Amino acid sequence: MSEGQVTNPRPRDDVAFEDVTDSSFVYEFGGPIGAAAMMLGFPLLMAYQFLCVYDNGGHFLLPDSFSDIAAWAGRMGQRYWEIAAPSWTGARIYLGFTFFMVGLAFVCPGPVMYGYKLPSLGGQRLAYKCNALWSWWVAVITALALHFTGLFRLTQIIDNLGPIMSVAMLWSFFLAGAVYAVTVARNAKHRASGNVIYDYCMGVCLNPRIGTLDMKLFTELRVPWPMLFFISLSCAFKQYEELGHVAPELVFMVLAHWLYANACNKGEECVITSWDIFYELESWYLLFWNLAGVPFSYCYTSIYVLKNGPMGFSVLWNILCFTLLIVGYFFWDTGNSQRNRFRMYWNNTLIKRNAFPQLPMSFIDDAKYLQTQHGNKMLIDGWYAYVRKPHYTADLVMSLSWGLIAGFGSFFPYFYLTFFLIVLVHRVGRDDARCARKYGSDWDLYMATVPWKFIPYVY
């Protein structure tokens, strides 16, 4: 948790404007119809999967026949309301945690970092107080203290998971509406389509802030991944209460989600120059997935192994899963560090932090790169000498391990892998098209220099 020797470096002034695609607009996800379908479909999908995993042992819930579909939908809705309707307990847990993290964002120490120049602000840079690491550890220590003193048993999370999830979904809709309304009232819309449904879904606000708190950075890091970790930790404590021990598969999931949450928060300063923060608009799409989708859709393995475990797999199988997790994590952490610290080095915002764990090969001295006419530099060293998206490959390996630890008795532990693969393929295609427009012939040279996307000589 130590910050080491850190400073608050000012960025250099000669870093190229990221303005080529900032003002462009194209419909994504099928335009207004696709946006409406997502806003209806994602909550229904989450509710359905929750019933399958939490209430039906990880098995699909299907109508008996075609003529039974309407009655089946009614039964599903009734059962969801019985076990997952929003409740005051769910609201206290979810919103209590959220506002606790907001408070920590204002009071915890951390270095002040600066993002890219923003064309929408006339080339100004926004300052970010990067104290997510301290907030994360304070939250973990506080949660453990509350649990072991009996003031708030963490098992209440899994016991009330349905109501908590429902509150999270409603909160994301409300927050997206508030951001949209304030942005419209201030006449500060950015890349708006003019279609209310689409703009609400995909966003019109680039940098929403509450004082010094950047909402996009906060909602991307400080709620979803810590909440996911606490759900898995809650499952482990629940299993201990029921069995007197924690099975290897739940130990695995607690470790997996701790590694991910810890990495996201210890590397917060690396995120501020990412595409998500620089370019993406704060929207229902981002808010729903960060505040509800991530914690309550990526936890299916933990719920499944709690409801169906102990799984009783062999020591060899468990070693295989743990090995995949650790190897995947190493390449994911170092891959993200290599590309982000390369950017930070040339942006003159690189700082040294001693956040645990610091892995070898996280920074490349004298890294090789391609200089573009646009002014940016493309990294072609480290893992990025072999493939263009090594961090995505490693992320997929980790997500595969999250499924394998549960075996093959259910699809739902593999939902994260399936969904993530679809998202990454879409994102890579979108990134390639954007970079081709932005860099022109330089992008062709980069593609020739590093021709593989995910796996060398394969794809």
Pairwise CA distance, residues 403 & 412, whole Å: 8
Is the pLDDT at 14 greater than 70, yes or no? no
Q: What is the pLDDT of residues 316-338, one digit of tens each?
A: 999 999 999 999 999 999 999 99
Whether the Cβ atoms of residue 272 and residue 113 lie closer than 8 Å to each other: yes
321/114: higher pLDDT? 321
The pair of structure tokens assigned to 374 is 């646009």
Q: What mean pLDDT value characterizes the chain?
A: 91
- For the stretch 365-370, contacts whose Cβ atoms lie closer than 8 Å and that sit 24 or more positions apart, written own/partner, are 367/338, 367/342, 369/342, 370/442, 370/445, 370/446, 370/449
Instruction: Kindly indicate the confidence band of residue 428, based on its pLDDT and cuts at 50, 70 and 90.
Output: confident
CA angle 55-58-59, nearest 5°?
95
- DSSP state letters, 128-148: EE--HHHHHHHHHHHHHHHHH
Q: Specify the 3-state DSSP secondary structure of 360.
A: coil
The pTM of the full predicted model, rounded to 2 decimals, is: 0.93
User: How much is the average pLDDT of 415-425?
Assistant: 91
Can you give the pLDDT at residue 1? 32
Q: What is the pLDDT, as a whole number, of residue 3?
A: 35
Rg (C-alpha) for the chain, rounded Å, is 22
Spatial contact of 240 and 153, defined as CB atoms under 8 Å apart:
no
Q: What is the pLDDT of residues 115-169, one digit of tens each?
A: 888 877 777 889 999 999 999 999 999 999 999 999 999 999 999 999 999 999 9
Report pLDDT digits (tens) over 331-382. Answer: 999 999 999 899 888 888 888 878 888 899 999 999 999 999 888 899 999 9
